Amino acid sequence: MTLPVGYFPCTQDPPKGENVARMIDEIVEQAEVCEQVGFDGFFFTEHHQQEDGYLPAPVLMAGMVGMRTRRIKVGTCVLLAPLYHPVRLAEDIAVVDQATKGRFITAAGIAYQPGDFAAFGVNPKQRVGRTEEVVEVLRKAWTGQPFSHPSKYHTIENVRVTPTPYQAGGPPIWMAGWVPEGIARAGRMADGWIADPIQSLPVIKEYTQQYRDSAKAHGRKPFVCLMRDCVIGDTWQQCVDKSAMTMVTHRWYYGFGAYAPDKYLQDVKSADELTFEQVAKDRLIAGSPAECLEQLKMWQEEIKPDYLMLRMRQLGDPPQAEALRDIRLFGEQVIPKL
C-alpha cells in the first residue's frame, strides 16, 4: 500500500511584489496538480498579523481548495486552537466537511507566537487549557445532539451544532506536539500526532515512541503523521541552488530555539553557520527523485509513519512554474514507489 502523502503549501505573500490574490491563485493551482499526480491531501497552517502576508484562515482556505478538487483531502496543519470559540469552529468545519463530502481533516496546535495571541486578546498561559477544551467541544458538537460544556473561557450551555459533519462523528482530529507534554497530549486526546518538520531522525524516532506509548496507554490506536521539508530536483546541485528560502526558514527555527540537541548540529554556534548540507542530513527530504525515495524509505523503516506531510515551497521560492514541476516530479516518480 502506498504511503499517503499530503502537501503543505507556502501561504505567505511571495517577494518581488506579487499580491495575495495571485498567491491564492497559485495555491489553488498547486492543489489541482497535487490531485492529478497522486497526493492524498492538501493542508493549511495559520498565523496572524504577519508582514509577509501569511494567510490567517486555514479552514476557509481548505474549503476553497475543496471546491476546486474532487478527490484530495483538505484540512488544517495546523489551526491554532486557543484562538477559536470551539462552537463556531465546530460549525465551520462541519460545513466544509459537508461541502467536500467528507474530505476534511482537522489538525490542531496550541500556538506559540506572541502576535497570534495578541491579535485575539488571548492569554498565552491559557493555551493548553483552551486547546484541550476545543478538542473536547468539537467531539461533543459533532454528535448533532444538544450539549453543555463546563468551559473556563466561554459559556456553552444547551448548544446544538447543525449541520453535523459528513463524516460520522466528525473529521479526524490530529494534534501537533514538539515537546514531551504536547506529544503525550496527542496520545491522550487525538486521532493522530503530527511530528514537527525540523527535528532530525534520532529525535523524531524518540518522539514517535513517546507518542505511541501514550496513545496505547489511553486506548487509542497510534497514527503518526511525519512532516518534512522537501527540496527535489533533477540533481543534488539543483537542490542546493534553490534551497535559499528553505534555509531562511530553518535558520529562523534555529534562532528561535526550536531545534532539539542532536549530533548533526553539535558544532553549530549560530544560525548563520547552518548549511544546506547540515540541515539536509537525516532531516530534510532532498535531492533527485531517487535520492528522495531512498531517504523516505529509510524514514519508513525507522519511524513507520501512517502519513507523510511535505512542504516543498517557501516564500515563493521556487517560482510557481518550478513549484508545479517539483510537485509533478515527486508525484510521478516518488509517490508510486513508497
pLDDT in tens, 190-201: 999 999 999 999
State mean pLDDT over 84-102. 98
Distance CA(6)–CA(35), nearest Å, equals: 10
Reported as type and span, the H/E element at residue 7 is strand 5-7
Tracing cell 537542490 back to the chain, one arrives at 239
Q: What is the pLDDT of residue 1?
A: 64
With a pLDDT cut of 90, the percent of the chain lying above it is 88
Distance CA(300)–CA(201), nearest Å, equals: 11
109-133 residues labelled b (16+ CB within 10 A) or e (exposed): bbbeeeebbebeebebeebeebbbb
Structural contact between residues 65 and 9, judged by C-beta atoms closer than 8 angstroms: no
Least confident of 14-18, 186-190, 301-305: 14-18
43 by Cβ neighbours in 10 Å (0-12 / 13-18 / 19+) ranks as: buried
* Contact partners, residue 217, CB within 8 Å, separation at least 6: 187
Q: What is the pLDDT of residue 53?
A: 74
Tell me the average pLDDT of the chain.
94
Check pLDDT > 60 for residue 255. Answer: yes
> Does residue 163 have a cis bond before it (omega within 30 degrees)?
yes
With a pLDDT cut of 70, the percent of the chain lying above it is 98
Distance CA(285)–CA(2), nearest Å, equals: 17
pLDDT in tens, 11-59: 877 655 568 888 899 999 999 999 999 999 999 999 998 777 788 999 9
For the chain, list the domains and their CATH numbers: 5-77+177-337 (3.20.20.30)
- 258/66: higher pLDDT: 66
